[in-house]
Chains A and B, each alone.
Chain A
Amino acid sequence: MKVTLWGTRGSIPTPGPETARYGGNTSCVHVEGDDGTQLVLDAGTGIRRLGDTFARPVGRVDLLLSHLHMDHIQGLGFFAPLYDADAEVHIWGPASTTQGLGRRLTRYLAPPLFPVLLRDLPCELRLHEVPCGDFEIGGFRISAAMVCHPGPTVGYRIQEGSRVLTYLSDHEPALGLDRFEVSELEPEWVSGYELAADADLLIHDTQYTTQEYGERIGWGHSSVEQCLTFAQLARVKHLVAFHHDPARSDDALYGVVSGAAQEADLPFRVTAGAEGDVFKI
């Protein structure tokens, strides 16, 4: 499969010269299967540019939402296939305890926040609530599970043959734990572990430094060091640091991620995710 990053920033878009290298668009990842199956992970602002690259006729596109915080759906209304009458768009995402996925999406895709109603979109739109057990899209087998982040939030494990991509864009597995170290952790009790176990590529939240995490416990994100520990526990082969803090400049981001990775002496590759990065697994 081919994995392309279209938005790597967390919380809010951050255009500007200080974020030009890693990008300022919020979460969006495109996954293309060997059979041509098209998956889009999250609808942050990066999805607008991605949508313009789809060849016509678009056919079927599956959009997998991790959760419905604004930085993960802000670009949804600007996703070109939604306005293509010949496109078949499937949106997968979590319901809440009181509202279904459709009703939750309508809170954004409706006036006064957005002029076009979800029901008025010309594409053939189908909604699916997750988690719903394992499911298949084209040649992909997909698992979704709730993970630790405020509000209903899922992570995805996407498997094609023997190759595995895991997407945990917003994730705080260290919440409530006194020590988050591989030797102290029981995998059964670590949020997201099963989704990430032995993944070839893990895309994971690294929003904070250790110091910042101490001031933002419970906000739903990880420090770079916590993410490295999680990736080591799960025995991943390649980690992509993701959901960068909006206040982090390119130089600071490079320093935080590469510094932590060098210090930890890890048995896997670490890449600070940048818009336009492509990974083939």
Chain B
Amino acid sequence: MPQQAIEMILTRQLAAHLSMPTFLVDAEGRVLDFNAAARAVLGERLEKARSLTARDLAALFEVRDASGRLVPSEALPLVIALEEHHPAHARLHVIGEGDALREIAVTAIPIVGQGRRFLGAMAFFWETEKEAHA
């Protein structure tokens, strides 16, 4: 495995200390890592994500919109951040821990390092139902 860029190492270390579920993908869209908070929301399916790309996540978690329609991979905030290099946000439904349908809000940002190198993207998400009942 080649060495990760320092910007990605520090991003991963930041994510490890956050309570917000977080995904980290490289410039080619490969899932590099996710934090413990993401595992708590998305459950065992998440382990399969390590060998996938950001585009594969739509199918893995059966991502749907508010009206129940399957969301195409190109509409995922993480894929937009990766492929269009700008931040994106969406409210989605996913199959997560316990195979339960969960409503989440997702914000993804591209990661641009020193020398304007495009290194990948990260996505934060949180459960909006829990948010509403908090």
Contacts and interface: CB of A to CB of B under 8 A. Distances in A.
Interface residues of B, number: 17
Interface stretch (B4-12, B40-48, B53-61, B84-92): B4-12
A146 B3 contact: no
Contacts of A187: 1, 3
Contacts of A176: 10, 13-14, 16-17
A191 interface: yes
Given A146-B7, A194-B3, A189 B12 contact: yes
Contacts of A190: 9
Interface in A185-229: 187-191, 193-194
Contacts of B4: 188-189
Interface string A101-141: 00000000000000000000000000001010000000000
Contacts of A188: 1-4
B114 A152 contact: yes
A194 B6 contact: no
Contacts of A158: none
A131 B115 CA distance: 9
A94 interface: yes
Contacts of A146: 5-7, 113-114
A36 B46 CA distance: 55
A230 B17 CA distance: 22
B15 to A, nearest CB: 10
A95 interface: yes
B13 A177 contact: yes
A87 interface: no
B13 A175 contact: yes
Interface string B72-116: 000000000000000000000000000000000000000001110
Nearest to A132: B115
Contacts of B2: 188, 194
B13 A193 contact: no
A95 to B, nearest CB: 7
Interface string A249-281: 000000000000000000000000000000000
Contact of A189 (B9, B14, B114): B9
Contact of B115 (A95, A148, A189, A191): A95
A36 B118 CA distance: 38
A145 B114 CA distance: 11
A129 B116 CA distance: 13
A151 to B, nearest CB: 10
For the complex of A and B, the 5 pairs showing the least CB-CB separation, nearest first, are: A176-B13, A194-B3, A146-B6, A188-B1, A191-B9
Interface of B: 1-7, 9-10, 12-14, 16-17, 113-115
Interface of A: 94-95, 97, 129, 131, 145-148, 152, 175-177, 187-191, 193-194
Given A95-B115, A176-B10, A194-B2, 5 more contacts: A95-B114, A97-B114, A131-B114, A187-B1, A189-B9
